[in-house]
């Protein structure tokens, strides 16, 4: 069995642990060591029965382990992943719940978390460090780039392209053939019926940008 450490002990971190446990019930694969978390108040405690092993700087103590950065916010997940890798060239696992249905024509990058009852069809590319919540649907020929977050019950129709760093809120939908630009946030329950630009927040039915995010210099 391979050692597994979850970075982040919040809600998604606990979900990731649960997925690893469910995977082990089907086919023992992961020796779950515990969590890494930069919150100093958690030092020496445990979460869901697993110890807090230290902060991101402590990844150097576990060079043979696999990691998953389980932070829902896409921007924070990217920053924490980069921070952890600045201390050591760590390896990342991908956790896919046994109740997820996907074809052998789907590719997953490293560090992904895919929750139960998600349906991913054919000829789909999922990038690195993608979080896909429960009950999502991803249609044929879709591309989901790195560090995307799909919250529960998101529907991506066929030939959609979700660029890096996007967050799609619970129950949102993207109709076929559309692109959502990088780092864009789509509000819960919104329906995307035309391409969305990068670096904006879009809400509503149809989803329209309501603000644009200022890029850091």
Can 213 be counted among the known catalytic residues?
Answer: no
* DSSP structure string for the chain: -EEEEEE--SHHHHHHHHHHHHHHHHS--EEEEEEE---GGGTT-EETTEEEEE-GGGGGG-TT-EEEE--SSHHHHHHHHHHHHHH---EE--EE-TT-EE-TTEEE-TT-EE-TT-EE-SSEEE-TT-EE-TT-EE-TT-EE-TT-EE-TT-EE-TT-EE-TT-EE-TT-EE-TT-EE-TT-EE-TT-EE-S-B-SSEEEETTTTEEEEEPPPP-
To which residue do tokens 């992904």 refer? 112
Whether 69 contacts 8, CB under 8 Å: yes
Active site residue: 129, 140, 161, 213, which one? 140
- The residues assigned a catalytic role are 140
């Amino acid at each position: 069995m391979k050692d597994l450490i979850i970075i982040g002990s919040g809600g998604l971190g606990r979900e990731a642990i649960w997925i690893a446990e469910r995977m082990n019930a089907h086919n023992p694969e992961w020796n779950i060591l515990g969590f890494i978390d930069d919150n100093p108040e958690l030092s020496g405690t445990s979460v869901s029965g697993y110890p807090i092993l230290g902060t991101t700087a402590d990844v150097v103590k576990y060079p043979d382990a696999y990691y998953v950065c389980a932070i829902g916010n896409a921007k924070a997940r990217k920053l924490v992943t980069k921070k952890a890798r600045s201390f050591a060239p760590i390896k990342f696992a991908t956790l896919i719940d046994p109740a997820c249905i996907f074809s052998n024509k789907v590719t997953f990058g490293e560090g992904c978390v895919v929750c139960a009852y998600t349906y991913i069809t054919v000829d789909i590319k999922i990038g690195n460090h993608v979080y896909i919540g429960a009950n999502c649907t991803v249609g044929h020929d879709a591309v989901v780039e790195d560090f995307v977050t799909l919250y529960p019950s998101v529907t991506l129709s066929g030939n959609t392209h979700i660029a890096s760093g996007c967050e799609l809120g619970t129950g949102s939908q993207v109709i076929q053939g559309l692109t959502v630009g990088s780092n864009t946030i789509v509000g819960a329950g919104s329906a995307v019926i035309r391409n969305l630009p990068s670096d904006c927040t879009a809400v509503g039915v149809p989803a329209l940008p309501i603000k644009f995010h200022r890029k850091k210099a």
